[in-house]
Amino acid sequence: MTLENPETAPLSPLVAAQHRAMPLTRLVDCGMDHADARRLLSDTAGGTPWEESAALLADTWLERARLAEEAGHLTTARESYRYASAALMFAQMAYQTDNDDKRELYSRHTAATASAAGLAVPYASRIERVEIPHRDSTLTGWLCLPPTGPARATVVVWGGLSGWGAAYLRIADAYTARGLACLLAEGPGQGESRLRHGLYFDEKVTEGFARFIDLAEADSRLAGGIGVQGISFGGLFAAHLAAADPRVAAVVVNGAPAAPTTPEFRTAREQISAAVGTEGLDRVTEVMHSLRFAPDTHRITCPLLLLHGGRDPLARYEDQEPFLRAAGPATATLRIWPDGEHTLYNHAAERDAFTADWFTDHLTGNIVPKSEE
């Protein structure tokens, strides 16, 4: 008699959907330890609930962090808190709608990130929690500063429907290593701005993201130009803000639809409904229609970098092409990875180096003239 391998057994529809939405490449891209990512996929294939497996992995890292901190090994403690933070970020993704369990897991994720930020480690980026007043409530995020000296320029980065804020600490690492500050935003409909402070997507959602530009402008440590980067659905907001706000000096759009619709699939509908703050499909459809990006009326005059993965099932090239037309050939750059997954999970290191160098060039005046290349 042979024992069935749980990794090869058919997955339930729920687990199959979780594995599609959160493959190994995404787990690692957003900060999970590689071995943990494999363990999470294996455990859930074998029947362990997603949120339970991810939270247990986080608990292990939190204990390692505690022991390392007590022993004075602050670099190890900081790294351990960050691995715990990433595991908890993915634990909360098991819930498409907002409930007490999701809020608790996200609160734990925020606390683990804050513990990492609270450790002063030489040669590592400095991380600060930020809270910004908006509409009688509060927007939240993380300001990541270069290890030493003032920032040469600032990039505000945000995600989309499920990955927010500290999910992009590795992107921030690429920027701070080049002397740029990186402000990881949790805008309306995202992170604690939504789960704790009740701010949602609406027709004026870009006004919320503009508040992070206000913060960057007001901080005397942040010199140079200000760029914005939107990942997945958040790329739509980045394009809208670049078209509306002349303070945006450069913009990166990665994996976003220019004309969002109410999704056909239940899980995607639930995610968008949670971001809008209602289960009423009429209201969700109304908001999605208001956020459509029309290149004829939304003009992007600053430099635009559009990133696209040829195997992205969520944002086809045709879905993103309007952003290029809004910028025009003189100011737009297109970079395609033919085998790229959604937001280029599987090319994370090259993607981050490329965008970090592109922002450095366009925000600090480091562009080499064509004749000198």
Categorize the per-residue pLDDT at 1 as very low, low, confident or very high, splitting at 50, 70 and 90: very low
In this prediction, residue 367 carries a pLDDT of 60
Q: What is the pLDDT of residue 123?
A: 87
Q: Which of 9-18, 199-208, 284-293 has the lowest mean pLDDT?
A: 9-18
pLDDT in tens, 330-348: 999 999 999 999 999 999 9
- In terms of phi and psi (left: phi > 0; alpha: psi -120 to 50; beta: otherwise), the region of 137 is beta
pLDDT at residue 45 greater than cutoff 60: yes
| Domains of the chain (ranges, CATH numbers) | 1-123 (1.20.1440), 125-373 (3.40.50.1820)
Please tell me the predicted confidence (pLDDT) of residue 269.
86
State pLDDT tens for residues 19-36: 999 999 999 999 999 999
**Model confidence pLDDT, tens digit, residues 57-79:** 999 999 999 999 999 999 999 99
